[in-house]
Structure 1
Amino acid sequence: MASTDASADDTLDLHLPAEFVALYGRAGDAPGRGGDDLLGRIADWGPADTPAGVFHLAPVDLERDLPLIARWMNDPAVAAYWELTGPPSVTEDHVRAQLTGDGRSVPCLGVLDGVPMSYWEIYRADLDPLARYCGVRPQDTGLHLLIGEDADRGHGLGTTLIRAVTDLVLTSRPACTRVLAEPDVRNAPSVAAFLAAGYRHAAEVDLPGKRAALMIHERAPRESA
């Protein structure tokens, strides 16, 4: 699996009233740096033991992480869906829009046994333009991701990490009952990875710039008790 795909412009173009941010997230903290935000403290979600090793999400630090993420974005297998090729400033603009936003989307590195090897965006699907195109529920949480290195793709690692991050979301966000993803329907490896991780293919949705496979993982009934 190379990637799912995303648009920071889409994720961040809904304006939230200050009263909403004050109620559901602490606007004075820095989203994406591990501070309280509309998703909780993602930096405190892990680590997770997986069959591939110990995994955790590390909110992006642009000064530290930009060269690596920009290199991944220029990999043709990633660029086909993320469309962020070019100089590092292209990736910087995409990531910075989230880091300076209200916390509804938090960019993270996925670190496996101490090695950064994937990029994730954890976002509030109920506050995303996705809600304009399909039914979402309050506190629904979405995932965008890419596996950075070609050597890590095609061996089931994507499925393992999707399962781990899904569990982290549901464990860390008790109010969240569903985790969503919307990979491009052409990205068959990504769709297959979500299916193998326990997601169901709920629908195909026409989003700006792509036709997406809406993937949904629901909290098991016993988890909601």
Structure 2
Amino acid sequence: MLTWRHVTEDDFPLLARWLAEPHVARWWNHECSAEAVARDFGPSLRREEPNEDLLAHLDGAPLGLLQRSFVHDYPEYVADLAPLVDVPLRAMTIDYLIGDPGDVGRGLGPAMIRSALGRIWAEFADAECVLVAVHADNVPSWRALEKAGLSRAASGEIEPDNPVDDRRHHVYRVDRPV
């Protein structure tokens, strides 16, 4: 069973370990020192940032990280997406990772994304849709989105998270169920 809770400072060592895992580091391109994790995840924890960081647990064990926010809270992200897709005012976005390599390739990513979407629809009555931009070469990520029910809405150029990547991205969308 998947459960969720907000990230706490006690989770920072776990996040640092996950961010250092090669399957995560490749796409998140994030510093994993204790200082960097505190710097980058602390503002969300203290509500100084408009996004939320949540830990997914599977049967009580940490599984992955989810970040969620309204797209319009990040004007630079709107600027990236708007040339490719319509960005409704109450569109949300997610970013996610499965932490331990042993949990990758077991269908847990799509399950985690589906569960996250269910929480968004339940907790954010004004969320119109969820938009997610994924690098075109990150096949496991965009396949997980498809398996979770999102559809490719566009492909185009967006500034990559990792400077080793080119600008090719796919944008996925799912609308609030009626």
User: Same-fold call, TM > 0.5?
Assistant: yes
Partner of 1:93: 39
Alpha-carbon distance between aligned partners in 1 of 2:172 and 2:50, rounded to the nearest angstrom: 20
Matches within 5 A, 1:106-125: 106-125=52-71
Normalised by the length of structure 1, the TM-score is 0.69
Query: Contact 1:130–1:207 (CA<8 Å) still a contact in 2?
Result: no
Amino acid at match of 1:145: Y
Match of 2:169 among 206, 209, 212: 212
Query: Contact 1:140–1:180 (CA<8 Å) still a contact in 2?
Result: yes
3-state secondary structure, aligned to 2:56: strand
Deviates more, 1:204-213 or 1:131-140: 204-213
Deviates more, 1:154-163 or 1:202-211: 202-211
Q: CA RMSD in A?
A: 1.6
Write out per-residue CA displacement over residues 52-95 of structure 1, whole angstroms, 9 at most, x where no aligned residue: x2x22211111x10110000000111001111144222222211
Q: What is the CA distance between 1:176 and its match in structure 2?
A: 0.9
Matches within 5 A, 1:75-86: 75-86=21-32
Q: What is the CA distance between 1:212 and its match in structure 2?
A: 2.5
Amino acid at match of 1:202: A
Match of 1:143 among 73, 87, 94: 94
Alpha-carbon distance between aligned partners in 1 of 2:128 and 2:97, rounded to the nearest angstrom: 24
Normalised by the length of structure 2, the TM-score is 0.86
Query: Contact 2:156–2:168 (CA<8 Å) still a contact in 1?
Result: yes
Query: Higher relative contact order at CA 8 Å, sep ≥6: structure 1 or structure 2?
Result: 1
3-state secondary structure, aligned to 2:109: helix
Partner of 1:169: 120
2:62 paired with 1:105: no
Partner of 1:61: 8
Alpha-carbon distance between aligned partners in 1 of 2:22 and 2:119, rounded to the nearest angstrom: 30
Q: What is the CA distance between 1:211 and its match in structure 2?
A: 3.3
- Equivalent pairs counted in the alignment come to 167
Amino acid at match of 2:7: V
Note the residue ranges of structure 2 that are not aligned, 5 or more in a row.
Answer: 161-166
Alpha-carbon distance between aligned partners in 1 of 2:4 and 2:157, rounded to the nearest angstrom: 30
Write out per-residue CA displacement over residues 149-190 of structure 1, whole angstroms, 9 at most, x where no aligned residue: 111111111111111111111122111120121122111001
Write out per-residue CA displacement over residues 118-148 of structure 1, whole angstroms, 9 at most, x where no aligned residue: 0111111122222112231122111100000
Query: Contact 1:59–1:109 (CA<8 Å) still a contact in 2?
Result: yes
3-state secondary structure, aligned to 1:146: strand
Alpha-carbon distance between aligned partners in 2 of 1:215 and 1:140, rounded to the nearest angstrom: 12
Matches within 5 A, 1:12-91: 53=1, 55-62=2-9, 64-91=10-37
Following superposition, which runs of at least 4 residues in structure 1 exceed 6 angstroms of deviation? none
Partner of 1:199: 150
Change (3 A) 1:56 1:192: same
